[in-house]
A and B are shown apart, each in its own frame.
Chain A
Amino acid sequence: MSGPGARPAPPPEPAIATVGLGKRFGKLWALQDCSVSVPRGRVVALVGPNGAGKTTLLRILAGLSSPTTGEARILGRRPEQSEQFLSSIGFLAQEIPLYRQLTARQHIDIGAGLNPRWDGKAALDRLGAVRVPTDRAVGTLSGGQRAQVALGLALAKRPAVLLLDEPVAALDPLARREFLASLAAAVAEQEVSVVLSSHLVHDLERVCDFVVLLAAARVQLCADIEEILDTHRLLVGARKPVGEIERAMDVIRVTQTARQSRVLARLQSPIVDPWWEVAEVGLEDIILAYMGRDAEGIEQEIVNLGATA
């Protein structure tokens, strides 16, 4: 739990709510019609292929960028240039920006003057625990150590919502695991909602309990991981025409071979049709199936192994 006076009683608003959010750069929509609602206290995996609008969404939420359409709210408050809003969010940009010539300790000292609820001691302790030198210019640290410093700074603000944009993308597997372990530890002791974007789905599964999936600049999926796992099934059966399958269920992806149809579907109720053999399916496969969809329809992968024979 957080320390005394860390945060007022939670308002009823969700941690993050967006309605019809869109962002256009020139003629290109980086994000379109994005409506999501994330309850407080979740650790959200914001996933999607490169260019899906993850960074755009996070930057709008952090108040760094303003939307072309729609609106975003964090804890019921629109992103704005006020101390009240800014102190409620923590943001870590993709390139892990730090002042290279300054040490971690200097960053922490500076942060104390810029933030009302700064917890510099916790940040130093946290960096000590992962053996990151705090008295060397951060430019001389490894990528993993810099990421730890940046995470420490974001957490030292004691934000209500922490936004992390691909923080582990550039890290080696070990540093990635340590970063996520630090994040998990912080989430356990600090009451904070987290949004963590990545295209590395595998990493997120360990720390996240909620998924927002962006693909083709739109929201494809926004739900609890448990719920996603419960409702998605892989169905395998003798080959059926795609149209017929689509009429029967909410199809995410179909793979047709000469004799078989393999269908990844979102089910409202258990399948009773004996045609299908039903199997559970992992989060990564589900997400990859969604990512493979184009903006409108389902993905069909027809493997024509002498289908006419």
Chain B
Amino acid sequence: MNLLVWRLHRNQFLFAASALAALTVVLLVTGSVMAHDYDTALANCRATQNCGDLGSQLFRGDGMIIDLVNLTLVVPLLFGLFWGAPLLAKELEDGTHNLVWTQSVPRRRWLSSTVGWALLAAAAWGGAMAALVSWWRYPENALNSRFGAFDIQGFVPVAYAVFAVALGIAVGSLVRRVLPALALTIAAFVAVRVPIAVFLRPHFLTPLRATFPPTSPGTNRAGDWVLSQLLVVPSGGSSHLSDFGSLPSLCETQGFQSKGLIGPCLARHGYRIAVTYQPDSRFWTFQGIEAGVFLVLACLLVVLAFRWVLHRDA
């Protein structure tokens, strides 16, 4: 059984292994340089007690490397397309299921083994990639919010990869042809992944709220995920901070193009800034919730795929 899986997917495996190896080399080299620069700069600035502007001074990978790292965002979908969707659809389309299902291995065992290896590969590659990116982003994570790169580090990439492959497998077993399976996998992946990231994730836990005067350094909360910033007028109403049209006219004379002047003016008139945010400390909780959601979805899809393959005529 395992020899069959290996023979059929050896080329894909070797290609994926090469791609991962290349990514590893690039990230190890650039990541080491970055981490070293960061640690040196941190030591220096601590000596001079001037660490405020560390972020802008530092090499954080040149543009291409950053793009490359951000591109790992789509890799789970690629797994779904190259490993998941064709896994059963190609057998069904080529008719080779008739060959393999009339060997002496019961269909369920064949399916478990085939699907199991694909999901395992997805988890392994997703995990390796996520670990690399998490490590590579260490200076960036220390300087900015980890939430900014929530989707490519931690353990959600593993869940995305497993989900994408399970989705591809389920879709492939349903439509039984490779090309439609690919198209449907892309559509379904995006249709699930984007709404969860955009609409659900900010509310996994009730956001915290903080208010402070416009002059306070509290407006710059480095590690937190800021969901909204509102300007609270003295009467109690609020408006979006960027909505300068509603600013009190008395501060206009001082030139509201410059925040340095307008801040103290607003503060004098009793304005406050209200921020809703998810604190940095919730990062791993959120990772756990999101990964859990996608792993549960992946389980459901695998169950469906089994049902479609085992309880339908070949």
- Which of A's residues lie within 8 Å of B, judged by CB? 59, 62-66, 81-83, 86-87, 89-91, 93, 95, 97-100, 102, 106, 109-111, 113-116, 150, 153, 157
Contact = CB atoms under 8 A, between A and B. Distances in A.
A83 B210 CA distance: 66
B4 A110 contact: yes
Contact of B4 (A63, A93, A114): A114
Query: 7 tightest CB-CB pairs across the interface, nearest first?
Result: A93-B98, A87-B104, A91-B102, A64-B314, A114-B103, A97-B95, A81-B106
Contacts of B313: 59, 64-66
Contacts of B3: 109-110, 113
Given A99-B8, A106-B7, A81 B102 contact: no
Contacts of B4: 110, 113-114
7 contacts: A65-B313, A109-B3, A113-B2, A114-B100, A114-B103, A116-B104, A153-B99
Nearest to B101: A64
A153 B96 CA distance: 13
B195 to A, nearest CB: 36
Q: Interface of chain B, helix or strand or loop or mixed?
A: helix
B191 to A, nearest CB: 30
B95 A86 contact: no
Given A65-B314, A110-B7, A93 B99 contact: yes
Contacts of A111: 103
Contact of B99 (A86, A97, A113): A97
Nearest to B311: A66
B117 to A, nearest CB: 14
Given A59-B314, A64-B314, A113-B4, A97 B106 contact: no
Given A86-B103, A100-B94, A115-B103, 5 more contacts: A64-B102, A86-B105, A102-B8, A109-B3, A157-B103
B36 interface: no
With most chain B CB atoms within 10 A of its CB, the pick from A59, A64, A65, A153 is: A64
Interface of B: 1-4, 7-8, 94-108, 310, 313-314
Contact of A90 (B8, B96, B101, B102): B102
Contacts of B2: 113
B243 to A, nearest CB: 61
Given A97-B94, A114-B4, A82 B102 contact: no
Contact of B104 (A97, A100, A106, A114): A114
A87 B190 CA distance: 43
Contacts of A89: 102
A205 B105 CA distance: 34
A83 B98 CA distance: 16
Contacts of B97: 97
Contacts of A64: 98, 101-102, 313-314
Contacts of B95: 93, 95, 97
